[in-house]
A and B are shown apart, each in its own frame.
Chain A
Amino acid sequence: MTAAAGAGTVPAEGRAAVLAGLLEKAREGDRGALDAIVREVNPLLWHVARAQGLDAEPAADVVQTTWLVFVRHLDTIRTPQALLGWLATTTRREAWRLLRQERAGADPDSEVVEHALSPAADVDEQVLTHERDRALWRALQAVSDRCRRLLRVVALVDRPDYDVLAEAMGMPRGSIGPTRGRCLAKVRELLLADPTWSR
């Protein structure tokens, strides 16, 4: 499989099996396997960091820090679920730590803080080649910030992995299903009212 494909294209069981194999090899000291895990999981960690409200450069730093902290714990992590949960949790905590520092150092009224809390939506829609994706992007601008963040990470997590999603968002496991359901329903409603989606 191509590691760069990330979520969405690899069936959940296939991805878990691939990660399980790579994890075992990495624990035995295979650096190629460790690199393959990095390539497979980096898109998820990137979006977890960005969904917390970090700018691009700090988000990339947080992802790097997460991996540097991770390698010390490699021996103790046994399953793909544990791997993804540990990495998502650490990425979120590192992102929160950085945001606390940024906020502590910033003028609380400044736009910088506002910006950090709500990532800009001023994206060039031309990067979206499908008409439907442009409709979805518009719909995402109309939902709450909480929904937008959750739906960013939902798309990268295999469907049964609500534990990973809860870790990634810092939300209770039990509220993930209902929140995801409400956010998806809202987007659905907006899309069904948009002729460019249904056409």
Chain B
Amino acid sequence: MSDPDGLLDDLDADILDALARTWAAVDPPPADLDERVSFALRLADLDVEAARLQHDALVGSGARAAEQARTITFDCDLLSLMVSVLPGDDGVRVDGWLAPPAPLRVELRTAAAGPDGQDVVHTTQADQAGRFVFTGIPHGLAQLLVHGAGLRTVVTPGIVL
């Protein structure tokens, strides 16, 4: 093969086709990955500061997953955001803390239940200590937004409550 990049013959082409098929079968992306990304990008304003998911751990020893609280931390240059997610009979309770503490407006977006439904935005205000809480949140995809920490709104990836 004189081509510096290596000319492909039929066998190489067969191998490349088989590689694409094989990796797609052996390790496909999660079935909901496209939906999670599309939900997270369904924002009014796209000039946002992305907060990275740092830690997602199950806390407590409830026998069923439904009884367990989950603590999730998000981080960006402007702030850190820690939430504790506790499922209950009347929906999910989300307790959150902003660091550094500041009385900022916090939104929790939840995904539409059906294909024709609308996303729902729950809004609250953190207190002086940076604490906030949402209650009665439905299970499913959700995303947190924090306004006023900087020029841009801080947004988290979509998480499944």
Cβ distance B14 to chain A, nearest Cβ, rounded Å: 8
Cβ distance B141 to chain A, nearest Cβ, rounded Å: 11
Q: A72-B46, A72-B47, A123-B26 are in contact. Are A46 and B33 (CB under 8 A)?
A: yes
Q: A8-B20, A38-B34 are in contact. Are A72 and B48 (CB under 8 A)?
A: yes
Cβ distance A120 to chain B, nearest Cβ, rounded Å: 10
Residues in chain A near residue B5, CB distance under 8 A: 162, 177, 181
- List the interface of chain B (C-beta within 8 A of A): 1, 4-6, 8, 11-12, 15-27, 29-30, 33-34, 36-38, 40-43, 46-48, 50, 52-54, 56, 152, 155, 157-158
- List the interface of chain A (C-beta within 8 A of B): 6-9, 31, 34-35, 38-39, 42-43, 46-47, 50, 56-57, 60-61, 63-65, 67-69, 71-72, 74, 94, 97, 101, 123, 127-130, 132-133, 136-137, 140, 151-152, 154-156, 159, 162, 177-178, 180-181, 184, 187-188, 191
| Residue pair B48, A71 in contact (C-beta under 8 Å) | yes
| Residue pair A42, B157 in contact (C-beta under 8 Å) | no
A42-B37, A60-B36 are known; give 7 further A-B pairs, CB within 8 A: A35-B38, A43-B29, A64-B157, A65-B53, A68-B41, A68-B48, A128-B26
Q: Which single residue of chain B is at the shortest CB-CB distance from A58?
A: B53
> Which residue of B11, B12, B23, B42 contacts A47 across the interface (Cβ within 8 Å)?
B23
| Residue pair B37, A64 in contact (C-beta under 8 Å) | yes
> Which residue of B6, B29, B40, B56 contacts A67 across the interface (Cβ within 8 Å)?
B40
| Residue pair A188, B11 in contact (C-beta under 8 Å) | yes
